[in-house]
Chain A
Amino acid sequence: MKIVFTLQGDGRDGLVDRRFGRADTFLIYNSETDERQLVANAAVDAAMGAGLKAAENIVALGAVALVTGECGVKALHALHRAGVKVYSTDSATFEDALEELRQGSLREAQPA
């Protein structure tokens, strides 16, 4: 299963970006193979609607879950409808957020 994490900069420092739509980089984690792949967030430079565009890209990647700081109202709705679970983390690093996810201690964000 593919799980997307939002990271700062080019993602190599493994630091979580608390933003979703304007996060710099997506880390695509494959839970079966433990493989990690970094891709630039193509929506980061959208003038408007970065969150919705990023959500579209997450769905296109075939991800089942997203781990980020906070995700906006519209993007959260879109991801929810597409069956992608959204988790909010306070962890500073990808490794810590992944550990939280494995332990099931992450909070799942629900649309209002």
Chain B
Amino acid sequence: MKELVILSGKGGTGKTSLTASFASLAPDAVLADCDVDAANLHLLLRPDVQSREAFHAGREAHVKSAVCCGCGRCAAACRFDAMSMTGPNETAEVDPLGCEGCGVCAFVCPTGAIGFSDRMAGDVMISDTRRGPMAHARLVPGSDNSGKLVAHVRQAARRLAEQRACTLVLIDGPPGLACPTMAALTGCAHALIVIEPTMSGLHDLDRVLALTGHFSVPTSVCVNKWDIDAAKSVAIERNARAAGAYFAGRIRYDRGVTEAQMRAETAVEAGVPSAADIRAVWGRMAERLAVESVNG
């Protein structure tokens, strides 16, 4: 089983649109939505949730009000203003959204009134979609994506692939280059970087290529909306090749993609003009990954 991760360096360049279209073209792929901060693959693929498991990350403080002496040292020490003396009988009370779980309140508390519990951060889900099985997650408000959560979603996707004898896992990666991105990238068979022809796109390309290069993950690059700036598209193609990446093609700017998405259809399903470009990019990816492809 092989994992293909789709990255961009910044959000909004077309990772999810492309991943969803690839799912239409790869007959036995499992999908993994690892962009958990702004998970949106489910909007396109309308998953039917089969199972869910609670995900815990970090800790949050709890006050035993019967033990609290009401001295207020915790409220004074908390850098996140998460502790106030508004509990019963002017005891300490935690604002769970403000609490970062750092533990300073328990450290300064003279009566040992503060304890910690694991914070419930969201659910990791296994679903069926019209384009195959999918692993994804939903965070509770105020929680954020992490390397740990991405590692969980990836593991769930790999298990799904083994159970259903799928040969490919398509990972919709997180934006940026930080911890969640590295957790999505390490150990993948291949990375595809989706870049827009803009100044920030040119800059992001260098940074993502440095990261995939560091982890020795073979990398391909495609330009999305190439015709909004042909000169920058040429520069991206040149820089990608100079860095040793494979250039997988250009996808044209196409309002039809947005219109299709408003109907919860992928570009390939809707057969909009740019679907031809996406098919060509996928064909090259399938060839490089040596996986099966359909004309679906």
| Chain A residues within 8 Å of B, Cβ to Cβ | 17-22, 44-51, 69-70, 72-73, 88, 112
Contacts and interface: CB of A to CB of B under 8 A. Distances in A.
Given A48-B147, A50-B147, A19 B187 contact: yes
Contacts of A21: 147
Contact of A73 (B147, B148, B214): B214
Contacts of A112: 214
Given A70-B215, A88-B216, A46 B186 contact: no
Contacts of B147: 21-22, 46-48, 50
Using C-beta atoms within 8 Å of the partner chain, give the interface range for chain B: 10 to 19
Nearest to A8: B187
Contacts of A45: 148
Interface of A is mostly: loop
B174 to A, nearest CB: 13
Interface string B188-228: 00000000000000000000000000111100000000000
Contacts of B58: 47
B76 interface: no
Nearest to B56: A45
Nearest to B214: A73
A21 to B, nearest CB: 8
A21 B187 CA distance: 12
A44 B183 CA distance: 11
A46 B57 CA distance: 8
A18 B187 contact: yes
Contacts of B182: 51, 72
